Chain A
């Protein structure tokens, strides 16, 4: 805003323009002053208990406004200027009472000298930026129950582990049979998991191939060599469009650099076809992409397995590594905490298992900040609990079995559960039911032995779990009414930054 040039000699009086975003004169129509449950009136601030009551009745709103601030008469908050027939009388009354003359509306500004006292509270603008519960999403009952299955699954698997330990200690169950069943389950789970991953990858590559197949035909080998980043889609298109020339095959290869996680099938199909000499002749532009191609080529040639099989092999390798190192460590683990009193061991393992349950990553694995694998704290606590418990077992075989079983239950099973939940909802529900039944049965068996008590236990366990799930969900929903998030201009702003460096 430029001051008028006529006032050059004097300091131009700053024109009070309201910089407050919510107070432009046009935006405030009387209709907008209908009390909004999300907005507070000033009196809500010091009638703290009344915060939750919500202003529903209009008359009530008026009364509270008036009681808050006598200025309600001088500045009728609901009337339009001049439209109030009582306004004149009121002002006369105010003047008779010795009030100062008031010109103009009060402005939420500091730099302009206003004829209002410093403690003046404007009922219109006071706290008008305050928002209550702006981002609250009300919970629904059934989604909440279905989400709680994740917790039920984990608690059940922990219960199963504990029951197995107790049974092993009491010599009711042979540790070898426990670990055998566990290993069979793990193997089945791994096969399923591997299958899903493979399917996912093929689907992904197929989808990419369909996208990239169309625009690849126009590009020549030179352009593909010069502009390697442009080749990403074309590279994927090679499988779906075999009529493309050699240049395109090369493009596919050069794009290997940019897509290191590409499906392994491309690798094989492409690497056999290309002749390096032909490629060198066709490609006059000695870009770095070509050198990269050579490297990829060299790595690909000698491999007998597809990378998928290589991956499997490495999994099996690491499984054996863990198996044997556990076998070697078992005697050490057995005597590690032997000198500690049993009371301490029970207390410690209890706390560790509770820690495991509470710090477990129950997230779905999607979303931005989700970790791919369960948080390490939870896993570490569980492994430490089983290490500590292992010292109460009589033989090295026992220790080895328990440790391996705990690895399977706490390390691998969560990954499988997470994947299953993403893949098939019915599978997830079935697994939950199975886990609940098994856990209940295990508890029953541990308590009094015999199949009858196991059945009773699983029955009771199922009922209790259902009640707990329903009850907790209902409880959480009913607690929502106490939620009171207050957000206003005093909160530090969240900066929005586009990450764009490169």
Chain B
């Protein structure tokens, strides 16, 4: 059964980034699967009003006051009238918020619950528990997630983090990884393998890749914003040692940031300008063109929820050297990666190992692309997200969705199927903390009163229903069916 889904986040195109492309890819794949998806974000400079993207993806750019790095000013209630209008106009069933730092997302989830809609939240980032900023963010996240129907995290580490931060039931949190558009990240010499092509002989029809000789130059690519938490300090310390211990090695570094000066100083001090190429920041479309120039992708990040870029690198046929932090160990199989501790010495050792492995031609990097294509696809992400939607709407029974264990004498429903009764919602919010609980309850009550007020003054009957984008037959589904049958 197709759903009407509203994706809500502060972050969307024209700004570019991981969350933005996640929302776009997921939405377009969900549309392919027959759902109706709209996106609600704030107005960007030069992007206002309602817009359509490919495939009839409708974007509402709500005018709002932006305070910091494209995050809107959190005004708990002021978003409600226009949000209600959009939701009724588009006949939304499910509100799906993205990114914990987006105040739009938190407010939308609160209002959606007040209006009796099902809500999903996707967390894209990791947060600590120590500093004051994290404590505040975590409290807000708790407020947002106290009443959410389901949460999605991009990695298992991210799930653990979110469960701890928002005190969620772990069964209410699904792990659905990010994906890459593998077609956009092809290796240089890649002959696409079509579905119809059946290998005739056991010999590979593709030419075997040119082996790397002992004296060939190995290029190490680094593409990251040059910030502290991306591990640029490690990189700065490691580059001279890697170049000293491995002759015929070059670096290509793309990205900009506050640590770029340190990096350049290191290059000047060690006179490595001819061995290290600094490209400055590159656009996301150009990332592939940079990656295919290298053999090894080095990712020295200090914290990472998922690390899409290492999947992109592997998809381009690069061997990946990365630090074992956050969700990174879960992302790629061992034959594509060498892990290092976030220490200078270990990073140097791991990189040298990777170079040696490539020189001995043990690593079949030419196969990485097809393997990555099998591991991560947005269609798969959309399917799994759809299952979450079915679970919270009730198309899958709660016992199947959350697991049914009749012999345990254990109540299945619990609080997992979140009822819309105000008193139940208040109970959930009240448990958020001694003071915060009461404050949250107050907010919920006011929100409810605003809702009642809006229903009286702007009755639903007066709001026009928007016409849906004319739907094509979901061609993809048919094609995959036919392929399966032919096989």
By beta carbon, the residue of chain A nearest B402 is: A119
Complex formed: what's the CA distance from A213 to B387 in Å?
80
What residues on B are CB-neighbors of A489 within 8 Å? Answer: 157, 160, 325-327
User: Contact check: which of A72, A126, A493 meets B170 at CB < 8 Å?
Assistant: A126
User: Contact check: which of B269, B323, B362, B387 meets A2 at CB < 8 Å?
Assistant: B362
Q: Does A486 contact B (CB under 8 A)?
A: yes
Asked if residues B403 and A495 are in contact (CB atoms below 8 Å), the reply is no
Please name 5 pairs of A and B residues whose Cβ atoms are closer than 8 Å in the assembled complex, sorted by A: A1-B334, A14-B335, A14-B371, A118-B174, A486-B164
Q: Does B375 contact A (CB under 8 A)?
A: yes
What residues on A are CB-neighbors of B344 within 8 Å? Answer: 495-498
Interface stretch, picked from B23-31, B124-132, B183-191, B252-260, is: B124-132
Interface stretch, picked from A31-39, A63-71, A467-475, is: A63-71
Counted as pairs of residues, one from A and one from B, with CB atoms less than 8 Å apart, the total is: 201
Please name the 8 residue pairs, one residue from A and one from B, whose CB atoms are nearest each other, closest first: A70-B405, A1-B335, A118-B174, A490-B126, A493-B342, A496-B343, A492-B303, A9-B199
Q: Does B167 contact A (CB under 8 A)?
A: yes
Asked if residues B334 and A493 are in contact (CB atoms below 8 Å), the reply is no
Min Cβ gap B24→A in Å is 21
What residues on A are CB-neighbors of B400 within 8 Å? Answer: 98
By beta carbon, the residue of chain B nearest A17 is: B334
What residues on B are CB-neighbors of A488 within 8 Å? Answer: 157, 160-161, 164
Chain A contacts to B: CB under 8 angstroms: 1-3, 6, 8-12, 14-17, 19-21, 42, 45-46, 48, 66-73, 93, 97-99, 108-112, 117-119, 121, 125-127, 129-130, 485-486, 488-498, 500-501
Asked if residues B237 and A111 are in contact (CB atoms below 8 Å), the reply is no
Asked if residues B204 and A8 are in contact (CB atoms below 8 Å), the reply is yes
A sample of 11 more A-B contacts (CB under 8 A), given A48-B167, A73-B405, is A2-B335, A6-B202, A12-B371, A46-B167, A68-B170, A72-B408, A110-B330, A117-B174, A127-B164, A498-B344, A501-B269
Asked if residues A493 and B128 are in contact (CB atoms below 8 Å), the reply is no
By beta carbon, the residue of chain B nearest A121 is: B170
By beta carbon, the residue of chain B nearest A489 is: B157
What residues on B are CB-neighbors of A14 within 8 Å? Answer: 333, 335, 371, 374-375
Complex formed: what's the CA distance from A68 to B414 in Å?
11
By beta carbon, the residue of chain B nearest A111 is: B375
> Given A46-B169, A130-B160, A492-B128 in contact, is the A73-B407 Cβ separation under 8 Å?
yes
Interface stretch, picked from B69-77, B90-98, B228-236, B449-457, is: B228-236
Chain B, residues 395-433, CB within 8 Å of chain A (1/0): the string is: 000001111111110100000000000000000000000
Q: Does B203 contact A (CB under 8 A)?
A: yes
User: Contact check: which of B171, B367, B374 meets A69 at CB < 8 Å?
Assistant: B171
What residues on A are CB-neighbors of B342 within 8 Å? Answer: 493-496
Asked if residues A70 and B176 are in contact (CB atoms below 8 Å), the reply is no
User: Could you say which of A20, A21, A489, A497 has the most chain B C-beta atoms within 10 Å of its C-beta?
Assistant: A489
What residues on A are CB-neighbors of B330 within 8 Å? Answer: 19-20, 108-111
Asked if residues B302 and A493 are in contact (CB atoms below 8 Å), the reply is yes
Asked if residues A495 and B231 are in contact (CB atoms below 8 Å), the reply is yes
Complex formed: what's the CA distance from A108 to B330 in Å?
6
Chain B, residues 224-255, CB within 8 Å of chain A (1/0): the string is: 00000101011001000000000000000000
What residues on B are CB-neighbors of A109 within 8 Å? Answer: 330, 333
By beta carbon, the residue of chain A nearest B265 is: A501
Q: Does B173 contact A (CB under 8 A)?
A: yes
What residues on A are CB-neighbors of B163 within 8 Å? Answer: 42, 45-46, 127
> Given A9-B201, A70-B405 in contact, is the A46-B229 Cβ separation under 8 Å?
no
Complex formed: what's the CA distance from A119 to B416 in Å?
12
By beta carbon, the residue of chain B nearest A7 is: B202
Complex formed: what's the CA distance from A125 to B363 in Å?
30
Complex formed: what's the CA distance from A491 to B130 in Å?
9
By beta carbon, the residue of chain A nearest B370 is: A11
Chain B, residues 263-278, CB within 8 Å of chain A (1/0): the string is: 0001001100000000
Q: Does B438 contact A (CB under 8 A)?
A: no
User: Contact check: which of B156, B337, B367 meets A12 at CB < 8 Å?
Assistant: B367
What residues on B are CB-neighbors of A66 within 8 Å? Answer: 408, 410
Asked if residues A111 and B331 are in contact (CB atoms below 8 Å), the reply is yes
Chain B, residues 373-405, CB within 8 Å of chain A (1/0): the string is: 011100000001001100000000000111111
What residues on A are CB-neighbors of B329 within 8 Å? Answer: 19-21
Complex formed: what's the CA distance from A117 to B302 in Å?
30
Asked if residues B172 and A492 are in contact (CB atoms below 8 Å), the reply is no
Asked if residues A11 and B367 are in contact (CB atoms below 8 Å), the reply is yes
Complex formed: what's the CA distance from A130 to B160 in Å?
9
Complex formed: what's the CA distance from A121 to B335 in Å?
26
Min Cβ gap B198→A in Å is 10
Asked if residues B408 and A492 are in contact (CB atoms below 8 Å), the reply is no
Q: Does B58 contact A (CB under 8 A)?
A: no
What residues on A are CB-neighbors of B362 within 8 Å? Answer: 2
Asked if residues A111 and B387 are in contact (CB atoms below 8 Å), the reply is no
By beta carbon, the residue of chain B nearest A49 is: B431
> Given A10-B199, A97-B404 in contact, is the A490-B160 Cβ separation under 8 Å?
yes
Asked if residues B364 and A3 are in contact (CB atoms below 8 Å), the reply is yes
Complex formed: what's the CA distance from A20 to B177 in Å?
17
By beta carbon, the residue of chain B nearest A107 is: B330
Complex formed: what's the CA distance from A119 to B331 in Å?
17
